[in-house]
Structure 1
Amino acid sequence: MQRFIKFPLYTLFIFFVSGWLTFAFAQERILDYQTDVTVLEDGTLLVTETIQVQAQGQQIKRGIYRDIPTTYDNPDGSRHHVDFILTDVTRDGQPENFHTKAQANGTRIYIGSQNVILPTARYTYQIRYQMKRMIQFGDSTDELFFNVIGTGFVFPIDRAKARIQLPENAIISDSIAYTGRQGSREHNANLSPINSHTIEVESSQPLSPYEGISLAVAWNKGVISEPTLADKLRWAWKDGMLILIAIAGFAATGLYLYFAWSKVGRDPSKDTIIARFTPPKDLSPAACQLILDRKY
């Protein structure tokens, strides 16, 4: 009887543990996230993101999405907009359908087909894009602060790694990595200089949903071409375009209301008032007093 009692308890324990392990390891997650950033001498960033995911048909049904911030705050409190060009998207090495949608602070890339449901499996997505106007030019050094591992994912990330490669004549003088949610100042990552112009960062622990890695790198001046006056004017126009559109809209509305009021809203001009010293025709003095005093 004792054997009969122990056997089912042991079996239930095995089923429970195996079921828990199956659920834990079958959760949708990002298994590996790697980003390679190459900085060209004109300041253009060539970015390749390789994202391996475990799809279980829960939230990853047709594919994934990636949020790319394109609006950044300046030290003086103003905002500037960077150029973003999406060049290529693949899944398991094959071209994949995608479309983009404007967000409040950037662009969202939707990857996948509306009519294709993905079977439960591991998939590797690769996103290639370019970004401009990301370099901050200082007095003694130039800097790049870049969100190398995106913070917009609702899935945990088991392994995250990124590399930034500058032109060969660059000498990296300072670097720091931040981990966690947007705005976090945690440093749960390891920095590894590869050579004088290349550096790698890898998370020292798995990342939770909405956590990522931002990497700041500084190097000697003269490596990246600074923007010309024409570039600065074009950027100023782009940054202030929304404000100019708003001002133009208010001005156009005011002009329309003024002309509409001038055409149909003005009161007619009043006739000249002429004093009369005799009663109006057919009215007696008593009738005039009634009109003036409203009594006899």
Structure 2
Amino acid sequence: MTKHIARVLAAVLLSIWAYGAHAGDVIRSFNADILVREDGVLDVTETIKVNADGTDIQHGIYRDFPQYVTTPDGTRYKVSFEILSVTRNGEDEPWEATDTDLGTKIRIGDQFQLVSTGNHTYQIRYLTDRQIIFGDASDRLRWNVTGDEWSFPILSASAHVILSSGAQPFEPIAFTGSRGRKLADAVATVSGRGATFETTHALDPFEGLTIMVQFPKGAVAPPTTAQLSDWWWRDNLGWVVLIYGFAAVFAYMMFTWLWFGRDPKAGTIVPRWDLPMGISPALMSYIFDGMNRPGFTGDL
């Protein structure tokens, strides 16, 4: 009996400690349903359940989505990000997307209206491409489920990946931690046509859940020539505009200089002098050489 009471008391104290440790704004659960379409586009639905007390969550929440990927060989490319819907507690919620150095920041909520304290459920649905890594024997998806920009803890995080082609994924891996760290506080399983990933411990601020899963060749079609062309323009549009803009300005300046700004060709130069008004040739001769030659004087 004494041991039973001790266990109950320990459980109560642990619950009180856990509540105190996560007092304030907190993400109670973060779940991502990821549909891998056959054309390689991901259809992602994120369900984020929060407890707001007005500390950080005042008008709503922010969601940072990175769009620039750097490969091991140093190649940098940009993925797409298209928001389909944003809701809070099942109702459409105002949102605004702004560009950042890393991608897109979504501000969810009305800047003129405070969010009531308590539990709220946000849901974001979006599309993104170029997330599949194509290999020789199999293809794979590596995905940062939660992101690592949250300034408050995430008590639990999970993800479910399913292939629209009907293929079965394999070799799922999950890890947690801040950017650059890999902690094994997550489990991954395969069930039917899907793979499920779940954290086993709460995530501290600026920590996230990252998953990786393999699937057989043919489950996702490789990019077409048109897609590769579109991706090339997406990655290099800034350089194209810069180079062609510089070339256009240089061509305009050269044309303007050649047509209007060049000095006329030099020809025979003939010096000419004209006497000032009211000066006769005799007076000019006197002014110019009068001190060195005899002159005439007269008195009246």
The residue aligned with 2:5 is: none
The residue aligned with 2:243 is: 247
Among candidates 226, 250, 274, match of residue 222 of structure 2: 226
Aligned residues of 2:172 and 2:190 also touching (Cα < 8 A): no
The residue aligned with 1:127 is: 124
The CA distance in 1 between the partners of 2:46 and 2:234, in whole Å, is 28
The CA distance in 2 between the partners of 1:151 and 1:267, in whole Å, is 64
The residue aligned with 1:76 is: 73
Give the counterpart letter for 1:114 in structure 2: Q
The CA distance in 2 between the partners of 1:137 and 1:26, in whole Å, is 43
State the Cα distance separating 1:163 from its structure 2 match. 1.3
* Structure 1 pair 139–272 and aligned structure 2 pair: CA distance change class (3 A): farther
* Structure 1 pair 261–209 and aligned structure 2 pair: CA distance change class (3 A): farther
Among candidates 233, 236, 257, match of residue 237 of structure 1: 233
The residue aligned with 1:35 is: 32
Aligned residues of 1:149 and 1:162 also touching (Cα < 8 A): no
The CA distance in 2 between the partners of 1:170 and 1:182, in whole Å, is 31
Answer with 237-246 or 184-193: which moved more: 184-193
Q: Deviations over 1:40-96 (max 9, x none)?
A: 222221111111112111221110011112221234322222222211111111111
* Structure 1 pair 262–186 and aligned structure 2 pair: CA distance change class (3 A): farther
For 1:49-60, list aligned pairs within 5 A: 49-60=46-57
Aligned residues of 1:32 and 1:53 also touching (Cα < 8 A): yes
SS in structure 2 at match of 1:215? strand
1:157 aligns with 2:159: no
1:199 aligns with 2:195: yes
State the Cα distance separating 1:175 from its structure 2 match. 2.8
Answer with 69-78 or 216-225: which moved more: 69-78
Q: Deviations over 1:77-118 (max 9, x none)?
A: 222222222111111111111111122222111111122112
Give the counterpart letter for 1:211 in structure 2: E
Aligned residues of 2:64 and 2:104 also touching (Cα < 8 A): yes
1:142 aligns with 2:147: no
The residue aligned with 2:87 is: 90
Aligned residues of 2:37 and 2:165 also touching (Cα < 8 A): no
Q: Deviations over 1:227-268 (max 9, x none)?
A: 221221222122211111111122123223323443555455
Residue-pair matches, total: 258
* Structure 1 pair 244–62 and aligned structure 2 pair: CA distance change class (3 A): same
The residue aligned with 2:10 is: none
Aligned residues of 2:165 and 2:220 also touching (Cα < 8 A): no
* Structure 1 pair 240–204 and aligned structure 2 pair: CA distance change class (3 A): same
Answer with 211-220 or 181-190: which moved more: 181-190
The CA distance in 1 between the partners of 2:124 and 2:198, in whole Å, is 19
Give the counterpart letter for 2:222 in structure 1: E
State the Cα distance separating 1:269 from its structure 2 match. 4.0
SS in structure 2 at match of 1:83? coil
The CA distance in 2 between the partners of 1:113 and 1:140, in whole Å, is 48
* Structure 1 pair 175–25 and aligned structure 2 pair: CA distance change class (3 A): closer
State the Cα distance separating 1:159 from its structure 2 match. 1.0
The residue aligned with 1:104 is: 101
Unaligned runs of 5+ in 2: 1-15, 271-283, 285-300
SS in structure 2 at match of 1:262? helix
* Structure 1 pair 36–258 and aligned structure 2 pair: CA distance change class (3 A): same
Q: Deviations over 1:126-150 (max 9, x none)?
A: 1111112221222111111111122
The CA distance in 2 between the partners of 1:206 and 1:126, in whole Å, is 20
The CA distance in 1 between the partners of 2:183 and 2:265, in whole Å, is 74
SS in structure 1 at match of 2:56? coil
Q: Deviations over 1:180-222 (max 9, x none)?
A: 1223233321112223x31111122211111111111111101
TM-score, length basis structure 1: 0.78
